[in-house]
C-alpha cells in the first residue's frame, strides 16, 4: 500500500529529474555541435546512426526522425557492425555513434574501423573524455548527472538526453535544408498527419452528391432534395452561382415558426451569404472554417460556380478531425 501511495510522487520526480537534465544540455552545446551539423549538411552521403543496448534503440529513433525531416539516414547496430554489417557504410557517409559511457567494448572495436574507412564520426556521449569522445571527429555531450532510476542504473534520463540531442540535430538540418510542410507531406502520405498536409477539398467531395435547388423551389421539393442527397443541406443556386443555403436546422426552424408551409419556397427560408470554400483549398482549411463558424457543412466553389458540399463527416471519415 505504501508503494501504491508513492506512484504519483515517483512519476513527478522522474519527470522533473529528466526535464532538469534536458534543460542543462544547452550548457554543453559548442562548436562541435555546430560543425557536426554543417558537416552533415554539406555531406554527399547518408547519416549512419549506431549504438548498442538502449543507445541502439535511441539510434533507431533518431534515424526515423532524420528520414522524416529530409536527412537520409540508416540504422546500424554496433554489435552487428563488427560482425559483417560494416558494409552498410559507404564512402561519403557520416557516422553518428551513441554511447552513454563511450567505453563499451563494441564501440572500442567499431570506432577505429570506421576511421580507417575515412568516414567522419560524430559522438553523442555522456562522457566526452571517453574512448569515443576523444576519438570522434565531433563530440556532442549528452551528460546527465543522474538517472531517474532510483538505483541510478537503468538508462532513463541518459536515453532521453540522447533523443533530445538527436532531435536538435534533425531540426537544425531541417532549417538548413529549407524543409517545408510540403516536403514533410511527401514523407508522411499516410495517416491523419499526412492527410492534413496534402488532402484537398476536391478529394473530399468527389464521391458526394451535389444537392441544389433554385430560389423558387417549393419547400416540399427542398425537403426531398436534402433527404435524397444526405448531406444535411442544399445549396440554393442561380445560374450555377451560390445565393444561399438551406440546412436541416433551417427546416426545423421553419416548421416551428409556420403552421402552413405549402406556400413557402426556397428563397423564403434560405440563409444568405453562406460560408464557401474553393475546391483546391486544403481539407484542414475546411475543418478550421467549420470550427470557427460552428457549422457542419461548407459549400464548395470552382471558378465561382457551385460544385458540391463538404460535410464534417467527410473529415471525420478521413481521420482529420
Residue ranges at the known binding site: 77, 83, 216, 268
**In sequence order, which residues have a C-beta less than 8 Å from that of residue 311 and are 6 or more positions away?**
208, 231, 232, 296, 297
Cα 199 from chain centroid (whole Å): 14
| 215 vs 270: CA distance, rounded Å | 9
> Is residue 100 within 8 Å of 84, Cβ to Cβ?
no
Whole-angstrom CA distances from 17 to 24, 60, 155, 163 are 11, 24, 13, 16
Give the H or E element holding residue 36: helix 31-42
DSSP 184-246: HHHH--SHHHHHHHH-BHHHHHTTS---EEETT-BHHHHHHHHHHHTSSEEEEEETTEEEEEE
Could you give the dihedral angle defined by the CA atoms of residues 270, 272, 273 and 277, in that order, rounded to the nearest 10 degrees? Answer: 0
Q: Using N-to-C axis directions, what is the helix angle for 54-68 and 157-176, rounded to 10°? A: 20
DSSP annotation of 267: H
Contact 197, 220 (CB under 8 A): no
Query: Which parts are annotated binding residues for substrate?
Result: 77, 83, 216, 268
Binding region for Zn(2+): 77
Q: Are 45 and 91 in contact (CB under 8 A)?
A: yes
Amino acid at each position: 500500500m505504501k508503494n501504491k501511495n508513492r506512484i504519483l510522487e515517483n512519476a513527478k520526480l522522474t519527470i522533473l529529474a529528466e526535464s532538469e537534465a534536458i534543460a542543462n544540455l544547452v550548457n554543453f552545446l559548442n562548436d562541435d555541435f555546430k560543425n557536426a551539423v554543417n558537416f552533415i549538411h554539406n555531406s554527399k552521403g547518408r547519416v549512419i546512426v549506431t549504438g548498442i543496448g538502449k543507445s541502439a534503440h535511441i539510434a533507431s529513433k533518431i534515424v526515423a526522425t532524420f528520414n522524416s525531416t529530409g536527412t537520409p539516414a540508416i540504422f546500424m547496430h554496433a554489435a552487428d557492425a563488427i560482425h559483417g554489417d560494416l558494409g552498410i557504410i559507404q564512402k561519403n557517409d557520416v557516422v553518428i555513434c551513441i554511447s552513454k559511457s563511450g567505453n563499451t567494448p563494441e564501440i572500442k572495436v567499431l570506432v577505429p574501423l570506421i576511421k580507417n574507412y575515412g568516414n567522419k564520426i560524430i559522438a553523442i556521449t555522456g562522457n566526452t573524455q571517453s574512448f569515443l569522445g576523444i576519438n570522434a571527429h565531433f563530440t556532442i555531450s549528452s551528460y546527465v548527472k543522474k538517472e531517474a532510476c532510483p538505483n541510478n542504473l537503468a538508462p532513463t534520463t541518459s536515453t532521453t538526453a540522447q533523443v533530445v540531442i538527436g532531435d536538435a540535430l534533425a531540426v537544425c538540418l531541417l532549417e538548413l535544408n529549407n524543409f517545408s510542410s510540403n516536403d514533410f507531406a511527401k514523407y508522411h502520405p499516410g495517416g491523419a498527419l499526412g492527410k492534413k498536409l496534402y488532402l484537398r477539398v476536391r478529394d473530399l467531395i468527389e464521391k458526394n452528391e451535389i444537392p441544389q435547388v433554385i430560389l423558387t423551389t417549393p419547400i416540399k421539393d427542398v425537403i426531398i432534395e436534402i433527404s435524397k442527397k444526405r448531406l444535411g443541406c442544399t445549396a440554393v443556386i442561380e445560374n450555377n452561382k451560390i445565393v444561399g443555403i438551406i440546412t436541416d436546422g433551417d427546416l426545423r426552424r421553419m416548421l416551428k415558426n409556420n403552421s402552413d408551409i405549402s406556400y413557402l419556397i426556397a428563397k423564403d427560408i434560405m440563409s444568405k451569404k453562406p460560408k464557401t470554400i474553393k475546391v483546391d483549398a486544403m481539407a484542414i482549411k475546411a475543418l478550421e472554417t467549420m470550427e470557427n463558424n460552428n457549422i457542419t457543412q461548407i459549400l464548395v466553389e470552382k471558378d465561382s460556380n457551385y460544385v458540391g458540399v463538404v460535410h464534417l463527416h467527410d473529415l471525420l471519415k478521413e481521420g482529420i478531425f
